[in-house]
Amino acid sequence: NAGVTQTPKFRILKIGQSMTLQCTQDMNHNYMYWYRQDPGMGLKLIYYSVGAGITDKGEVPNGYNVSRSTTEDFPLRLELAAPSQTSVYFCASSYSMGVSYSNQPQHFGDGTRLSIL
Amino acid sequence: QQPVQSPQAVILREGEDAVINCSSSKALYSVHWYRQKHGEAPVFLMILLKGGEQKGHDKISASFNEKKQQSSLYLTASQLSYSGTYFCGTGSGGGYQKVTFGIGTKLQVIP
């Protein structure tokens, strides 16, 4: 099993460009998440999904969009890149049979380091 | 609301013990602990659920005091491999329970 795979690993964007960060998992997890990590700030939840076709906002969703058409894939879209979106982005997944996911461990991908200049 | 971790940073010599605390202003359902090495992804250590349990494996253990809304991570006889940033994540009750992470505690173990 590959676990959670994120691509690309690194990217430099110009202000105003758009891009999609890819995330795929092969563990058949129903929950998936996108976090951003800024130095000294911990992990901030951008969006999460409880299953195919269902997504919801996290703490810092502005400037981002997501979709979940399959169990495996959860791409994150930046439409108009801004310098404030320079960060390390982590995708994670977990499995829960109930409505709560906070009682299950999250498995993280290796991250995408994004710089916007 | 983001949980508060203390200390923010600690330096240990090999073999010494450390305690990392995580506290929340909200009633907690769960506490997660993760370790992240520089440039890598966070790695799951353990989850503690409401009920005041204590968990551990090898020389790393944790406790959860739901009345005080606190958790502590105990690292005993530290090894060089313990170096990294430790994050706690807290889950609160109601609906799709989100996990909110603290800003982390940077632990460095030196020979």
Residues of chain B contacting A99 with CB distance shorter than 8 Å: 95-97
Facing residue for A42 by CB, picked from B29, B32, B87: B87
How much is the pLDDT for B94?
A: 54
Mean pLDDT, rounded, for A8-28: 96
Question: pLDDT for B37-51, tens place per residue?
Answer: 998 999 999 988 877
Tokens of B80: 């060089």
For residue A116, is it within any domain? no
Q: Yes or no: say if A81 and A64 are a contact pair by the CB < 8 Å rule.
A: no
Q: Yes or no: say if B3 and B56 are a contact pair by the CB < 8 Å rule.
A: no
Supply the range of the domain harboring residue A81: 4-97
How much is the pLDDT for B93?
A: 60
What CATH number is associated with residue A63? 2.60.40.10
Residue of A63, A68, A33 lying closest to A47 (CA atoms): A33
Q: Is the pLDDT of residue A46 over 70?
A: yes
A50 inside 8 A of chain B by CB: yes
How many angstroms away from the CA of B105 is the closest CA of chain A? 10
How much is the pLDDT for B99?
A: 85
Residue of B57, B86, B71 lying closest to B29 (CA atoms): B71
CB pairs A-B closer than 8 Å: 66
Mean pLDDT, rounded, for A41-56: 92
For residue A47, is it within any domain? yes
What is the spatial distance between Cα A102 and Cα A92, in angstroms, rounded to a whole number?
Answer: 13
Question: pLDDT for A66-89, tens place per residue?
Answer: 999 999 999 999 989 999 999 999
Facing residue for A102 by CB, picked from B2, B41, B98: B98
β-strand partners of A91: A34
Q: Which residues of chain B have pLDDT under 70?
A: 52, 54-55, 93-97
Chain A interface, mutation test: which of B71, B96, B105, most A Cβ atoms within 10 Å?
Answer: B96
Q: Is the pLDDT of residue A102 over 80?
A: no
Give me the architecture of the B4-110 domain, per CATH.
Sandwich (2.60)
What is the per-residue DSSP string for A62-103? TTEEE--SSSSB--EEESS--GGG-EEEEEEEE--SSS--TT
What is the spatial distance between Cα B78 and Cα A74, in angstroms, rounded to a whole number?
Answer: 38
Question: pLDDT for B9-21, tens place per residue?
Answer: 999 999 999 999 9
Asked whether the beta carbons of residue B41 and residue A99 sit closer than 8 angstroms, the reply is no
Compute how many other C-beta atoms are within 10 angstroms of the C-beta atom of residue A17. Answer: 13
Domain ranges of chain B: 4-110
How much is the pLDDT for B52?
A: 60
How much is the pLDDT for A68?
A: 97
Asked whether the beta carbons of residue B103 and residue A102 sit closer than 8 angstroms, the reply is no
